[in-house]
Structure 1
């Protein structure tokens, strides 16, 4: 197998803009939805890239001091090179110092998050690290051994890569620790959302967006807001007339985290968009630019590049049917005075009596160690099959109504089941509410994540030493 000569990390080993911006919404939101907190690691991929080697610190220049850490010029150079390579089109009108300033801001945010993880005592186990590396390897169509060989052939140091992956996992963990505990979605939140659903976009839709953001404090004066609105309106007219391109304006003036990439947010799920973005999107077709609008962090312009997904009518037609089974069971657990072998022997004796015609309910009351159901003759009631263990589910599916299962072992002990009945239940509304809860969780996680990142910046000591650094509103150096 031939491997690429150089290893390219699409979401850069130096945490480019994407990792500290929309990743907050996507990763934290996905945690609300029950996915792995390390999901973002799967975005690394193989390709071509400039060398990632770092000069020794004694010969390197410091471009920023972040509390008790530093960002080196070599790190910034490598990160800027990554951004340039990721852009298929030229950087355009953005001056080099603006691009370097924007990328430096992202490196500073990376340092702040790692420092917070260290203060919180967050550790990454070897198993977590191996799983993270495994996801990267899998994304590139390799196993870990093949991936290690590819890294070696690229000239990179595997130990450096492992350390970067460790840091990404720490960042994911600290986000979960610092943000997710503040995310709570009530039944009333879900009810309100459903009441307004007809006014909202399809939640299965995804949108490829670009944005231009002029950051404003939440308490900005009316005059300040008006100046920002007028500035964006002028730029919107220039874009609409063809005098300039949306991407070039984003690189030159946007305060948003995607500025270095021409404002390109990539594909964003509808459930991750703030309400203000949805309203602006309502009137757009692919290729069109929105009117100026006030959003979460300031004034915005967005461009809809493309969209994909099902229509609201299709969503309404999708039904969720769940198979439920009504069962009785007897569970026998080994104890200090009854060994595992003795427990299994007792289970076999009970099953023989059941097959011979003894009453299941009576034997459950006499022998079952499940105190929650023993008094009811082992009656578990109706249970969805997708919510029981795989072993229990297999045994239930193998039975006909009235039939008694073989003896099988679960985490609770040795189990015997009698199937009383099966039915299909429409769980569409429940599934819809769960989906809404996930949608709101993603949004709230994004909002809380933004607030947390701003708090980190506000409370940090940041000394920027980059020549010609261009501070932007909301950045660590502003």
Structure 2
């Protein structure tokens, strides 16, 4: 259903607020050409918006955009190939039925009332949405029929292949890592007043330059401490409102496209935002970050406080009550510090090292983190499980089956690219 949500994001992204000078041209910029068909930045951003909150650790937004663009190019290539095959037909009834199935599934997932509310918020009717997705549904059906007719009949996975694959990849496909249910009390390192003032003064000076006529992108590239976006003039792309603190959302809501916020305090420092565009669920933003760098004495003060809270926890005081009183983590504070269940393979080395040998009920720390010091309670511990082949044989066969389909699709795409012009401009 991902493509369905992506189209909704694309449609909603082009409605509402009028575009500021330069932004409409930016969104209409062609980032790839397939045959004679362009792919615009707006199309790319619409799909990226769906995945933005789900990026795996270590994957940058730039890398994700490039990967999504490759998929959009491949989609067009496969569609051209399917359309050129006279044995492949997609009827209007098939398209309408597929849309109905997707619409029904989306309503079931969101609830009919929420589905209707979001459509109304975007100024759309169900018929508008149906019309908007019709072309993409047709493309998807053509590609599926191409795979069904040209690829799948040649794919075979034998029992021996599956067992051999399991034996070779057991450590990655059959092992369910140990996991821990954790609670924590975060004691944040609070920068001293001089450190805070130094960063604010610098941010305020940059803000004055921008409102005085300096180019935002140039200032971002020269001074922003967010090095990942500085090289792109501070470009953040479409940023979901749900991932911004309420006080920052309030300031951004008051801006008109093209306007710049005053320096706003975030988790690591001061942000200056330029609002390029907005829609119901997201802002199109540039930003400049000026980090507030704590002094050594600030870290020592936080560690001393963490040790005091640790002693209280070790003395038998209720951990949840302590978290509600002392924790500086706003997302878990009222939950008594509960972090939920965390697999050990996604823990930081510092936290894993602290809890690895702990038993359920143990309290460890203080553990240094990028934000300060965490006192951690292990509430549950589940040991690693290695699933035998017989237990996951069907999953292994299906994985191999899908892998072979992708390999054959890649070969087909390479052959198509020899016949169809492709240019990537991102």
TM-score (norm 1): 0.34
Higher helix residue share: 2
TM-score (norm 2): 0.38
When Rg is computed on C-alpha atoms for both structures, the one with the higher figure is 1
